[in-house]
């Protein structure tokens, strides 16, 4: 899952959201030790989300459709596609309008600057200026996100072409997201609030 889903799946727990948001930029178990315990818990939740997603049979179907052209970038592309579906039907998932929620995420992350890894500090101004989280709801926003990622990859990824694949098989990816995401929500709920 991509940035919007990671933030959303943290519930309304601010420090867990920060950790979940920055999770890709923190490596190994040792990396957790320098963070506030609740931020470290959010990083661990990020890793649990990635593990559940990577191994899920429905997500595998989405990736399989893209793998011949995009190879190991297929998973990254599916993450962005799924954020698009979350953003485009945000009202089904959260009471706060997406624009307000996105601004809350940006300002919460920005206010925690001393906790942020260098990669997040570098990326955040671009994210805020382009309002990535809100603009994921439009195909043009997804296109800009994927083009930006494509420019930053060390090898040719062709990710800038992936919106055409989303448009071509939109209903299939949407159906897969609709099947998968409620299961991921339940998984995160159990992870955050395990029953004793």
**pLDDT tens-place string over residues 69-118:** 999 999 999 999 999 999 999 999 999 999 999 999 999 999 999 889 99
Residue 187 has a pLDDT of 96
Q: Which of 100, 180, 88 is nearest to 139 (CA)?
A: 88
Residue 155 has a pLDDT of 76
What CA–CA distances, in Å, run from 182 to 55, 58, 93, 105?
A: 16, 12, 10, 22
Q: How many helices (H) and strands (E) does the chain have?
A: 11, 0
In angstroms, rounded to a whole number, what is the distance separating the alpha carbons of residues 190 and 51?
Answer: 15
In angstroms, rounded to a whole number, what is the distance separating the alpha carbons of residues 50 and 76?
Answer: 11
Residue 73 has a pLDDT of 92
Domain ranges of the chain: 3-192
Q: Where are the alpha helices (DSSP H) in 89-117?
A: 98-111
For 114, other C-beta atoms within 10 Å of its C-beta total: 5
Q: Are 79 and 3 in contact (CB under 8 A)?
A: no
SS3 185: helix
Which residues in the chain show pLDDT less than 70?
Answer: 196
Residue 156 has a pLDDT of 81
User: pTM score, two decimals?
Assistant: 0.94
Structure tokens at 31: 């990396």
CA 64 to chain centre: 19
Q: Are 116 and 124 in contact (CB under 8 A)?
A: yes
Residue 46's contacts (CB-CB under 8 Å, 6 or more residues apart) are 6, 19, 20, 21, 22, 23, 24
Q: Are 159 and 73 in contact (CB under 8 A)?
A: yes
Residue 153 has a pLDDT of 78
For 194, other C-beta atoms within 10 Å of its C-beta total: 7
Q: Which of 85, 72, 55, 52 is nearest to 173 (CA)?
A: 85
Residue 157 has a pLDDT of 84
């Amino acid at each position: 899952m991509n940035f919007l889903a990671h933030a959303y799946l943290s519930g309304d727990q601010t420090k867990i959201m920060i950790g979940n948001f920055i999770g890709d930029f923190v490596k190994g178990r040792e990396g957790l030790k320098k963070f506030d315990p609740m931020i470290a818990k959010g990083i661990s939740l990020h890793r649990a989300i990635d593990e559940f997603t990577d191994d899920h049979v429905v997500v595998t179907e989405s990736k399989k459709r893209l793998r011949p052209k995009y190879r190991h970038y297929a998973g990254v592309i599916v993450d962005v596609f799924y954020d698009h579906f979350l953003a485009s039907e945000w009202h089904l998932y959260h009471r706060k309008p997406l624009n307000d929620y996105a601004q809350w995420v940006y300002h919460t992350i920005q206010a925690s600057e001393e906790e942020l890894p260098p990669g997040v500090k570098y990326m955040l101004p671009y994210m805020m200026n382009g309002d990535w989280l809100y603009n994921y709801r439009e195909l043009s926003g997804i296109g800009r996100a994927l083009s930006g990622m494509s420019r930053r990859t060390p090898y040719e990824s062709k990710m800038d072409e992936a919106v055409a694949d989303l448009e071509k098989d939109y209903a299939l990816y949407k159906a897969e997201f609709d099947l998968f995401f409620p299961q991921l929500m339940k998984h995160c709920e159990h992870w955050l609030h395990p029953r004793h």
